[in-house]
Structure 1
Amino acid sequence: MSEQLKIEQDGRLLRVTLNRPSDNGISDAMAAEFSAAILKAHETSDAVLLRSCGPDFCTGRVRDPGMPPPAAEAYARRPEYNAIFDSYKAMRSSQVPVIGVLEGRVMGFGTAIAALCDVSFASDAATFNIPEITHNVMPTMVMSALYDRVNRNAILWMAYGADFIDAERAMALGIVSTVVPAAGLDAEVQRFCDVLLSRPRPAILGLKEYLRVAPRMDEQGAIDYARSLHSIVNTSAEMKKKH
């Protein structure tokens, strides 16, 4: 585990903290480590709590000092983006829910992973944007995370304009679940985590599984999958226990 990504086991909760306060960015190495932690989180945990050491959640992708410049040719450069795309896939593929805590500026990669969280809490002081085009970079990396989370008009407005939006608007667009006053953010996150972790593990996993798989199915397939998963989960011994 690197110093730039803190991974701590807290009972049934895996705490993952972006720990790069010098620029609040995320490097490819951090993204790769993040992916590995998310994909195996179910081995020890029922949920992942993702946040940053602040003051901002994430101001985007950064290159570590000493890294070679990007390759000049497109097909040579293409694999250099794998760590970022893989981190998006890891969040979608995680067997346990990922809970995001969003404060300060949430930019580029930060906006992408905020939208990919299964449940997210934004401080009422948080702001969100997709700034890539201001650096002459087309933000299709971020858009690949948002395309099924946010409506296309909103994505294009954010991508072309690069303006910051406040947390309430981010919630209206589907980027975050709820907005909480900054002073009460930690308490509300803790309350929700306590509630979530009081639920039976089969239900926690089953809900995440259904929403990971069903949207790719046709209508009848999604209904039949719900019927099967409903039977599987609700007949498990853990669901019959009193909690």
Structure 2
Amino acid sequence: MHEELLSEVRGEVLWLTINRPERRNAINPAVLDGLHAGIERANDDDGIRAVVITGAGEQAFCAGADLQSGKSFAFDYAQPGQRLADLLRRARRSNVPLVARVNGACMAGGMGLMAMCDMAVASDRAVFGLPEVKVGVFPAQVLSVLQHLVPRRVLNELCLCGEPLSAQEALAAGLVNHVSADLDGKLDWLLGRLLDKSPAAIRRGLYTLKHIDAMPFEQSMAFTESQIGLFAMTEDAREGQLAFREKRKPNWTGK
């Protein structure tokens, strides 16, 4: 049996590919466990600067739960956490940037995988949707990662009507950063803009961004005024400022 979640390091980037094209890269336990393990690996390895999450083939990024299995909503209610929810929690704690490469249909739980990423690049053929109401359920868990990405009216329509958005509509709604007919060219462009920056600043920056998301203003200010002092103490901060003064490229250590 072929691996259902492929993991490959390409330079400083870990690629995680859902490898179930015959099921439109639908989610199953092996996929969730593989994505969780991949994000853990990236955060434990200082040599990995970014994670790309995508689907095999050209038809689908991820079509959501594998409804053909008949077990998609058969949870173990004795467990306080479910696999998808635990993956979204782990992604939220990641200090390594996650980038979604949306190569095709991004539906239901696939929207959760896309939205848990820090950035997303989509093919101009991609479509996005939350069709759960068509099969009598609701996109409950993915709301936690979607609700701050798009305007409430857009989210309400996606959830309550279950109809899809085109790639351009998703871009206009703020679901993705970029849409291109040259998906990999645009992805490489985005990664290039990320990978030449300070690893320490990005790692601590993501930590800061994610922690202040739900804080009220005064709490956020108290947290960030302490964080900027820690940023300034890193080797990368000293090197970056020295390189600026010396008009040269910085030599990052990631420390």
CA distance in 1, matches of 2:146, 2:72: 29
Where does residue 33 of structure 1 map in the other structure?
34
Counterpart of 1:62, as a letter, is: D
- Provide closer, same or farther for how the CA distance between residues 155 and 194 of structure 1 changes in structure 2, counting only shifts above 3 A: same
How far apart are 1:149 and its partner, in Å?
2.3
How far apart are 1:62 and its partner, in Å?
1.3
CA distance in 1, matches of 2:12, 2:237: 17
Tell me which moved more, 60-69 or 159-168. 60-69
How far apart are 1:68 and its partner, in Å?
10
Q: Any runs of at least 4 consecutive aligned residues in structure 1 with deviations exceeding 3 A, and if so which?
A: 63-69, 76-81
Where does residue 173 of structure 2 map in the other structure?
173
- Matched-pair contact (CA < 8 Å) for 1:8–1:14: yes
1:43 aligns with 2:44: yes
How far apart are 1:147 and its partner, in Å?
2.1
1:43-91 superposed Cα distances (whole Å, 9 cap, x missing partner):
22121111111221011111685969836xxxx5474971111111111
Aligned counterpart for 2:184 among listed residues 183, 186, 190? 186
- Matched-pair contact (CA < 8 Å) for 2:65–2:72: no
- Provide closer, same or farther for how the CA distance between residues 30 and 64 of structure 1 changes in structure 2, counting only shifts above 3 A: farther
1:231 aligns with 2:229: yes
Where does residue 64 of structure 2 map in the other structure?
60
Q: Percent identity at matched positions?
A: 26
CA distance in 1, matches of 2:109, 2:73: 20
Query: How does the TM-score come out when normalised to structure 2?
Result: 0.84
Tell me which moved more, 148-157 or 78-87. 78-87
Tell me which moved more, 147-156 or 160-169. 147-156
Q: Say which SS state the counterpart of residue 140 (structure 1) adopts.
A: coil
Where does residue 136 of structure 1 map in the other structure?
136
- Matched-pair contact (CA < 8 Å) for 1:125–1:167: yes
Where does residue 92 of structure 2 map in the other structure?
92
Where does residue 113 of structure 1 map in the other structure?
113
How many residues were matched structurally?
236
- Provide closer, same or farther for how the CA distance between residues 57 and 80 of structure 1 changes in structure 2, counting only shifts above 3 A: farther
Tell me which moved more, 197-206 or 77-86. 77-86
Counterpart of 1:140, as a letter, is: A
CA distance in 2, matches of 1:198, 1:162: 40
Q: Say which SS state the counterpart of residue 23 (structure 2) adopts.
A: coil
- Provide closer, same or farther for how the CA distance between residues 163 and 11 of structure 1 changes in structure 2, counting only shifts above 3 A: same
CA distance in 2, matches of 1:194, 1:144: 29
How far apart are 1:224 and its partner, in Å?
2.5
- 5 Å-filtered alignment, 1:198-209, equals 198-209=196-207
1:151-170 superposed Cα distances (whole Å, 9 cap, x missing partner):
32221210111111111221
Q: Which runs of 5+ in 1 are unaligned?
A: none
- Provide closer, same or farther for how the CA distance between residues 80 and 222 of structure 1 changes in structure 2, counting only shifts above 3 A: closer
RMSD over aligned Cα atoms: 2.3
- Provide closer, same or farther for how the CA distance between residues 68 and 170 of structure 1 changes in structure 2, counting only shifts above 3 A: closer
Tell me which moved more, 103-112 or 146-155. 146-155
- Matched-pair contact (CA < 8 Å) for 1:46–1:96: yes
Counterpart of 1:70, as a letter, is: A
CA distance in 2, matches of 1:11, 1:99: 15
Counterpart of 1:159, as a letter, is: C
- Matched-pair contact (CA < 8 Å) for 1:32–1:84: no
